[in-house]
Structure 1
Amino acid sequence: MSTEPQLPPVASSQPGPLDPVEKEPHAVGSPTPKSPPENAVKFTKAAALWSSLIIGFLVLIVLLIFIAQNTDSGTFHFLGWSWSLPLGVALLAAAVLGGLITFLIGAARIVQLRRAAKKNYKAALR
């Protein structure tokens, strides 16, 4: 038998530990779990675009500083051609050309995979 006094049940507008509205009973003294407010802003594609624009501008600023600090000219030779460019500009051009080559190879692969997927989809419908 329990030595605690038995209190009569009291009607309450708040859900009790056995009320089906509340999912789990909480221990005494523990903080109740907080759910996010209904008007919380979600991370959207527009927010991702805005974040990537900010990062892009920061990278652009770093590249401009790099080019401004590397203005010494260098002579470049390629397949009989010869030209002179500032080193910063030459390195930036090489990076851009490398990115374009990577983009073209990736785009060709995506087109190849889309054609294969379309062909497999049409075959599955027959």
Structure 2
Amino acid sequence: MPQDLDSPQDTPTMDAPVAAATSADPTAPVAPAVDARRRSRSRAAWFALVLGVVVLIFMLVFILQNNVPTQFTFLAWDFTIPLGVAVLFAGIGGALITATVGTIRMVVLGRNVRRLGRARAAGA
């Protein structure tokens, strides 16, 4: 007779907590199950790299398809460039602003960590 797919099975799942093997005490704390897909910095960097390449491919296609000259006015300047190139410049400008803000934040945090480390070393 086939087993019902909705019925509970006797096999443990990955999400269930695992009891300590050496403990005979039923009230002992249980260790959480180990996640097989742990997050890491290299994995996040690889994902960001792949995502960036995909975005660049889409931008290249957009630039090649939108090669029509477009009139722009910025402050006192009046110029004509292809629409795709204008969007590329806007993307580069946004990336530079984001990188600048992120860099400033990392410098401030690093300075605070070093200052706290020196204070901890002096107090200990």
Task: Sort the TM-score into its range (normalised by shorter chain).
Answer: 0.5 to 0.7
| Structure of larger gyration radius | 1
1:31 aligns with 2:10: yes
The superposition leaves residues 11-46 of structure 1 with CA deviations (integer Å, 9 ceiling, x where unpaired) of xxxxxxxxxxxxxxxxxx9432377xxxx8977655
TM-score, scaled relative to structure 2: 0.58
Fraction of identical pairs, as percent: 38
| Aligned residues: CA RMSD | 2.8
- In structure 1, stretches of 5+ residues that fail to align are 1-28
Q: How many residues align?
A: 94
Aligned twin of 2:107: 111
- Using the TM superposition, name which of 40-49 and 79-88 deviates more: 40-49
Matched letter for residue 117 of structure 2: Y
- In structure 2, stretches of 5+ residues that fail to align are 1-7, 15-35
The superposition leaves residues 64-116 of structure 1 with CA deviations (integer Å, 9 ceiling, x where unpaired) of 12112221111223343332211111012111111101211220121112112
Q: Which one has more relative contact order, counting CA pairs under 8 Å at least 6 apart? A: 2
Distance 1:50 1:108, change over 3 A: closer
Q: 1:69 aligns with which of 29, 51, 65?
A: 65
1:59 aligns with 2:38: no
SS of the counterpart of 2:11?
coil
The 1-side partners of 2:37 and 2:103 are apart by: 34
